[in-house]
Chain A
């Protein structure tokens, strides 16, 4: 026994989706987290709540609205059609967009906490030592908040690997395009192929365990204590 070609395709697709999503989230989520950590604006509460919504919403609700938004009449759909790349549902990039929303809080919140606990002082010290804002970010914030970024990347990746409902709503079940591991397991079970389901399911358990183990043992913050 082992993985079938379809299983391997699903695994490869899942890893690719999670990897791309994590990279995008670190790029998009960092400025959001930075802003949330440092602003005194009235909008901090509302924006923070919107970012955290996927934590409490059923994935199907999120998937439903994203499907509408990315559809031919939705805002995102209009935009992508204007760009000449058609609509996103039932494509890999549709899944990426959905995953970015879905996993956003898992990336934003650890970074936000790390930046908040950093406080104002290291940034002020850097400014008095002639470091501009970008310089300060790379030479002071990134090294000091590294545990936060590390946690954010791991959680963002792992959470994307584990998503199911949103994928089903947005991407359906197209082999090699949108059929990720969780959907593949669902298909196996539907077809009463329990042995095949076991292989994938057990792999997911082991993978998740290893990820969390890495998070708790390798994380510089956890190690320092």
Chain B
């Protein structure tokens, strides 16, 4: 039995059309990413049943929620939804908001789920306050907990950080990362922030003008040269690694991945723990030899897979790291360098990575 989410929606409004046919993975965080007006929120609302797309089809983990005349109303769908504005009920305390859904879900796990959600979002001290006595960030944490208490089979989040200022965002992001690590249900996460994608997403759906331009694993989509992400000024690669060891002499940590090993500043993280890193395309240069006479620490064998011009003086290169060249990494170099190094697809080179940043 597949856990996947099958979603097919066609919706026509004046000046807007949604037209998607997607198979989304049944676990992990899938970011619906795109500009405002790209249809990502509408798609999420269709999945929730808050928007009705006649003739659509939706199945979640084998259960059909919408098909032809069959349309499961929102309140019968085992989902959790987090709105952009927390949308807590103002007449109930934080606890009352959490219990609102709990009381309406069948199954005896209620109390334990509530305590777990309170714990996960760190809102134990806020429970007796009313929504108007909470900060924006606190409200959003209560709203996320309120959705989790339902023990949903699918969690939908509509730009949960977009209404918050930078400081509040930084306050919530760690909690979302914890969710990412601890939840074993699929999450659909609408966002227009590349930063949130880098921190939270495992999969990506790139929305454009009401349709899905591309969908797939995050690391792959961010480095596809035919998509705008790789051509962006802030283009970057995401690589999943595992903490392999620490060097307490030089205060470094070693992160292993299928293509080799990165050295980064000492992490407070146990050996064997996963670590996600992001590497800006502009921080990667390419050499034909493995220079041992360089201050750059991270030099990794790579193979050129594809290169395209970015503008009249720069190229963006997709490298494959590792013996089978399976881990993609973007490099941005000048066109002159590309010519001088005679870079062509298939050529074996060395990627010199100037900066590796932890992203979780």
Chain A residues near B (Cβ < 8 Å): 121-122, 124-132, 135-136, 139-140, 143-144
Contact = CB atoms under 8 A, between A and B. Distances in A.
Contacts of B85: 121
B147 interface: yes
Interface stretch (B100-108, B203-211, B319-327, B338-346): B100-108
A141 to B, nearest CB: 11
Contacts of B88: 125
Contacts of A131: 75, 100, 104
Given A130-B105, A131-B104, A125 B89 contact: yes
A127 B89 contact: no
B87 A122 contact: yes
B75 A124 contact: no
B50 A129 contact: no
Given A121-B87, A122-B89, A143-B91, A127 B104 contact: no
B80 interface: yes
A135 B73 CA distance: 14
Contacts of A144: 89-91
Contacts, number: 57
A110 B40 CA distance: 36
Contact of B146 (A121, A122, A124, A129): A129
A140 B88 CA distance: 11
Contact of A132 (B50, B75, B100, B146): B75
15 contacts: A121-B83, A121-B87, A122-B87, A127-B73, A127-B74, A128-B79, A128-B147, A129-B104, A130-B150, A131-B75, A131-B104, A135-B75, A144-B89, A144-B90, A144-B91
Nearest to B147: A128
Nearest to B49: A127
Contacts of B50: 124, 127-128
B81 interface: yes
B80 A128 contact: yes
A120 B68 CA distance: 26
B48 interface: yes
B59 to A, nearest CB: 19
Most buried by B among A136, A139, A144: A139
B93 to A, nearest CB: 13
A136 B48 CA distance: 17
A132 B146 CA distance: 17
A140 B79 CA distance: 20
A200 to B, nearest CB: 41
B104 A128 contact: no
Interface in B30-69: 48-50
Given A124-B50, A124-B74, A129 B90 contact: no
B74 A140 contact: no
A216 B239 CA distance: 63
A17 to B, nearest CB: 34
The 3 A-B residue pairs with the shortest CB-CB distance in the complex, in nearest-first order: A129-B101, A128-B81, A130-B104
Contacts of B147: 128
Contacts of B73: 127, 132
A89 to B, nearest CB: 45
A104 B223 CA distance: 64
B89 A135 contact: no
A139 B100 contact: yes
Contacts of A140: 89
Contacts of B83: 121, 124-125
Interface in B83-130: 83, 85, 87-91, 100-101, 104-105
Nearest to A120: B50
A200 B214 CA distance: 78
Nearest to B100: A129
Given A128-B74, A136-B75, 18 more contacts: A121-B83, A122-B89, A124-B50, A124-B74, A125-B83, A125-B87, A125-B88, A126-B75, A128-B75, A129-B75, A129-B104, A129-B146, A130-B76, A131-B100, A135-B104, A139-B100, A143-B91, A144-B91
Contacts of A135: 75, 104
Contacts of B87: 121-122, 124-125
